[in-house]
Amino acid sequence: MFNTWDDLRFWKSGEWQKIEEDLDDWDRKGIQYNPQRTQIFRALDLTPYTQTKVCIIGQDPYPNARHATGVAFSIPKDCLDYPPTLQNIFHEYSDIHGDLKYPYPKTGCLETWCSSGVLLWNACPILPHWEELTYLTMEIVEKLEENKILIVSLGAVARSFCDEVTNHLSFSHPSPLGWARGIKPFKGNRFFSTVNDYLCSMNEEPIDWKLP
CATH number, domain at 68?
A: 3.40.470.10
pLDDT in tens, 139-172: 999 999 999 999 999 999 999 999 889 999 999 9
In a domain? residue 2? no
Of 52, 21, 61, 58, which Cα lies nearest the Cα of 161? 58
Whether 164 maps to a domain, the answer reads yes
Q: Looking at the annotation, which residues are catalytic?
A: 60
Task: Report yes or no on 207 lying in a domain.
Answer: no
Give the tens place of pLDDT for each residue, 74-125: 999 999 999 999 999 999 999 988 899 999 999 999 999 999 999 999 999 9
The answer to the question of residue 206 being in a domain is no
pLDDT, tens digit, for every residue of 28-82? 999 999 999 999 999 999 999 999 999 999 999 999 999 999 999 999 999 999 9
Structural domain of 22: 10-201
- Measured distance CA(158)–CA(152) in Å, rounded: 9
Alpha carbons 18 and 11: distance in angstroms, whole number? 11
Based on the structure, what is the number of domains in the chain?
Answer: 1
Sign of CA dihedral 189, 194, 58, 106: positive
Q: What is the pTM assigned to this prediction?
A: 0.96
Task: Out of 8-17, 68-77, 187-196, pick the least confident.
Answer: 8-17
